[in-house]
């Protein structure tokens, strides 16, 4: 099955700086890569996703890049704000249609 | 206007005492999932229902069972909880089963086993 590794496990950034989270996956057949954000005490929510036929996708301050050859994808948050503090999970979906999640990155934005 | 509702938010049970967690949805989604999430770990899929079709993950212990009596409700039954079953249990739904579906999560039930 798919194995997704996520780094770093924790990330502390100064407000206004950028944050980058990286994930690698094992199954070259994977074709869908979502990112979920889980604020403290709240449910995980989809913030952005990318499909294998696209190399980059942006939505305001967040962007995701995908390198299929290297089997890795990354989440970029620019101009971080306190409300960006949360746990972020990457995931990958392969031919079995099941999502495999990374272990999560706890992002703390310092004021 | 919560769309996926889990009850209770916190559940305490005793070692070996059966416990049931519940999940309901107002989205009329075909697929419902149960995930187990332990501290600092990735959510782990236990099983999912596509409509009434039950799909168990190969490594889900027999101790875990699920029921989906109708489209809106899904239950997780833990027959004899062990200390290792203490975790956050997340219910989620998706419109369909295509591998590219957005998951809608509930707020989770934090299970403690004493």
Report pLDDT digits (tens) over B42-90: 899 999 999 999 999 989 999 999 999 999 999 999 999 999 999 999 9
* A40 vs A19: CA distance, rounded Å: 18
pLDDT digits (tens, 9 = 90+) for A51-108: 988 899 999 999 999 999 999 999 999 999 999 999 999 999 988 888 999 999 999 9
Tokens (6 digits) for B46: 């236990």
Contact B89, B108 (CB under 8 A): yes
B41–A43 C-beta distance less than 8 A: no
Minimum CA–CA partner of A4 in chain B = B42
B100–A51 C-beta distance less than 8 A: yes
* B77 vs B19: CA distance, rounded Å: 6
Where are the strands (E) in B3-80, listed by range?
A: 4-7, 10-13, 19-25, 31-37, 44-50, 53-56, 64-67, 73-78
Which of B42, B49, B58, B92 best tests the A interface by mutation, with the highest count of A CBs <10 A? Answer: B42
B100–A42 C-beta distance less than 8 A: no
* A44 vs B45: CA distance, rounded Å: 14
Interval B82-99 mean pLDDT: 94
3-state helix, strand, coil in chain B (%, to 5): 5, 50, 45
How far away is chain B from the Cα of A83, in angstroms, using its nearest Cα? Answer: 18
Tokens (6 digits) for B35: 């995930």
- For chain B, the straight-line distance linking the first and the last C-alpha, in angstroms and rounded, comes to 34
- B9 contact residues in A (CB cutoff 8 A): none
């Amino acid at each position: 099955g798919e194995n997704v590794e996520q780094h770093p496990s924790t990330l502390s950034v100064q407000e206004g700086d950028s944050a980058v989270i990286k994930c690698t996956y094992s199954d070259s057949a994977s074709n869908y890569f979502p990112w979920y954000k889980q604020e403290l005490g709240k449910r995980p929510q989809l913030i952005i996703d990318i499909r294998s036929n696209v190399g980059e996708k942006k939505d305001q301050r967040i962007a995701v890049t995908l390198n299929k050859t290297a089997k890795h994808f990354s989440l970029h948050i620019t101009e971080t704000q306190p409300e960006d503090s949360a746990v972020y999970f990457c995931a990958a979906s392969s031919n079995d249609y099941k999502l495999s999640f990374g272990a999560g990155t706890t992002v703390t934005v310092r004021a | 206007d919560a769309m996926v509702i889990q009850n209770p938010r916190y559940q305490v049970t005793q070692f070996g005492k059966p416990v049931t967690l519940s999940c309901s949805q107002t989205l009329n989604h075909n697929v419902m999932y149960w995930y187990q999430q332990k501290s600092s770990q990735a959510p782990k899929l236990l099983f999912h229902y596509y409509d009434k079709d039950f799909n168990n993950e190969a490594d889900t212990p027999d101790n875990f069972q699920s029921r989906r009596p109708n489209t809106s409700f899904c239950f997780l039954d833990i027959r004899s909880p062990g200390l290792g079953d203490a975790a956050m249990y997340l219910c989620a739904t998706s419109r369909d089963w295509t591998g590219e579906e957005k998951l809608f999560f509930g707020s989770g039930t934090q299970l403690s086993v004493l």
